[in-house]
Amino acid sequence: MIFFNIDKNDKSAHIYQQIYHELKKSILAHKIPANEKLPSKRKLADTLRVSINSVTNAYEQLIEEGYIYTLERKGYFVENITQFNHRNNTENLQIPSDLKEKEIDREGWLSLSHMTADTSMFPFKEWIKSQNKAIKNHKDELSEISHPQGPYLVRKTIARMIALTRGVVCEPEQIVIGTGTQPLIRQLMQMQINNTKIAVENPGYSRIYSLLRNMKFDVSAVPLDKKGIQVEAIESINPQFLFITPSHQFPTGIIMPISRRIELLNWAALSQNRYIIEDDYDSEFKYGTDNIPSLQSLDRNQRVIYSGTFSKTLLPSLRISYIVLPPDLLRAYRCHYADWIQGSNSLSLFTLHYFIESGEYAKHMKRMNHHYEIKRKALINELQLRFKEDISIKDVPAGLHFLAQLKTTKGYKEIEAKAHLEKLEIYTLRRFMLGSELADTNIIKLVVGFARIENEEITEAVDRLYRIIT
């Protein structure tokens, strides 16, 4: 006997949903035994004073989910459902407190982080215009998943652009578009065997270091000298892959001179198994002098994997980055990733294509170079005025951050905790020391980013830093 009521005024559930839920509850609680015949649709509709349609919909949903079955001309019956062999424990379903996230409240914070871009000057109107063109001209492609390396048209545009701006020599076929430098490097390295040796710069890009270590590669953190990564150390480690940032070493800012570049290319050319990954993450920003050609542009032996990103020049949240593979790696990549589904959003990629094609990207770059240069100078000036002889700034006119050394009696951890209290987002060099701790001396090294800070916030940010350091 089926016994429940239907609330016709309940706005939160349709009548058929109420019937479905009540029957499901009774079946799961074994109040209606397995193989018991249910009332006919008409009979249940009459009992509940609802339409036959509502009962039909409820029965159909229960059949779909396997709670009941039907026998031709006999009616509807309850399935024999296996019981859970554990007791319902709703407490177990709650997320443990250490995994709970707090809502981030950025109210009142100022940022001197190197990870950001300035959105105040981003030409959203022009971006939307490019997006409209992408929608108009690529409806068919938007209905499909794209080539595993990203749409050919977009790769062609990127290839043309980096040939002009970075001297990168490549065909569109060699470009792999992805959602970030990390995922692209992971894809590339997943093709390598486990005992592959990799050398990275120290201090360096900690996210790549931890990624490669998590992938169980044999990763060595190689110290720098004033020209960049030390060649003798690389020779003694004998890695197959070298991950470097020659245009603007991250985080120290060293621009690798031509002599070191040639030494590294010569080292790589000695074996078909040696590759240099050139992370060219912020080279578009160069103040006062022209851009420095990429390492890839000097390579005559196809040993350099070039890695670029639109995170600094456009927006980090767009997640558009790419790598350029030498032909031998491209062949291996195509085999390995034949079934790969491209993770980038095709609409953003086609939008990027029109944004570059229309000249808006070049205009934006020109504007931002000028804008960032003004902010960089203003921030350096304010820091020097405030800290006087207690500050030494590595003033490399490139990128979106610089390294500053400050005299202080405080240690790194104390400085980081105080920065949090002062609501100042800033990274210390400690974060980028790979596999080694930075000892507390009476000097603290900071990676100071100037992309996000507004001109009128600079004095306040430096005041906060002063309170943190002194």
Ligand X SMILES: Cc1ncc(COP(=O)(O)O)c(C=O)c1O
Give the 3-state secondary structure percentages of the chain, helix then strand then coil, rounded to 5. Answer: 45, 15, 40
70 binds ligand X (CB under 6 A): no
Footprint (CB under 6 A) of ligand X, residues 281-340: 281, 309, 311, 316, 321
Pick the stretch among 174-182, 359-367, 371-379, 412-420 that binds ligand X (CB under 6 A).
Answer: 174-182
Give the residue among 446, 434, 458 at the shortest CA–CA distance from 410: 446
Distance CA 406, CA 10 (A): 66
Q: 148 or 316: whose CB is closer to ligand X?
A: 316
Task: Give 50 or 400: the residue with its C-beta nearer to ligand X.
Answer: 400
Question: Is residue 39 close enough to count as binding ligand X by CB under 6 A?
Answer: no
Residues of this chain, 194-233, that bind ligand X according to CB under 6 A: 205
Q: What does the per-residue mask of binding to ligand X show for 239-258, with x meaning CB under 6 A?
A: ------x----x--------
Q: Whole-number minimum distance, CB 449 to ligand X, in Å?
A: 9
Three-state SS at 40:
coil
Residue among 67 and 281 whose Cβ is closer to ligand X: 281
Binding to ligand X (CB under 6 A) within 339-368 occurs at none
Q: Could you give the CA distance from residue 322 to residue 317 in angstroms, rounded to a whole number?
A: 15
Q: At what angle do helices 346-357 and 124-137 cross, to 10 degrees?
A: 110
Q: Is 131 among the residues that bind ligand X (CB under 6 A)?
A: no
350, containing H or E segment: helix 346-357
Given the complex with ligand X, which of 18 and 348 has the nearer CB atom? 348
Question: How far apart, in whole angstroms, are the C-alpha atoms of residue 87 and residue 406?
Answer: 60
What is the closest distance, in whole angstroms, from the C-beta atom of residue 446 to ligand X in the complex? Answer: 15
- Which of 180, 293, 343, 411 binds ligand X (CB under 6 A)? It is 180
Burial, 290: exposed, middle or buried (Cβ in 10 Å; 0-12, 13-18, 19+)?
exposed
- The single-letter DSSP state of residue 422 is T
Secondary structure (DSSP) of 290-319: PPPPPSGGG-SSS-EEEEEESTTTS-GGG-
DSSP string, 230-292: -HHHHHHH--SEEEE-TTS-TTT-PPPPHHHHHHHHHHHHT-TT-EEEEE-SSTT-B-SSPPP
Distance, CA of 189 to CA of 309 (rounded, Å): 18
Q: Identify which of residues 55 and 447 has a Cβ nearer to ligand X in the complex.
A: 447
The verdict on 181 binding ligand X (CB under 6 A) reads yes
Single out the residue of 70, 182, 192, 240 in contact with ligand X (rule: CB under 6 A).
182
Structure tokens at 209: 């270091």
427 binds ligand X (CB under 6 A): no
Residue 116 as a binder of ligand X (CB under 6 A): the answer is no
Task: Give me the least distance between CB of 185 and ligand X, in Å please.
Answer: 9
Contacting residue, 2, 63, 115, 233, with ligand X by CB under 6 A? 115
| Part in contact with ligand X (CB under 6 A); list of ranges 19-27, 28-36, 43-51, 179-187 | 179-187
Task: Candidates 53-61, 175-183, 219-227, 390-398: pick the segment binding ligand X (CB under 6 A).
Answer: 175-183
- Which residues lie near ligand X (CB under 6 A)? 115, 180-182, 205, 245, 250, 279, 281, 309, 311, 316, 321
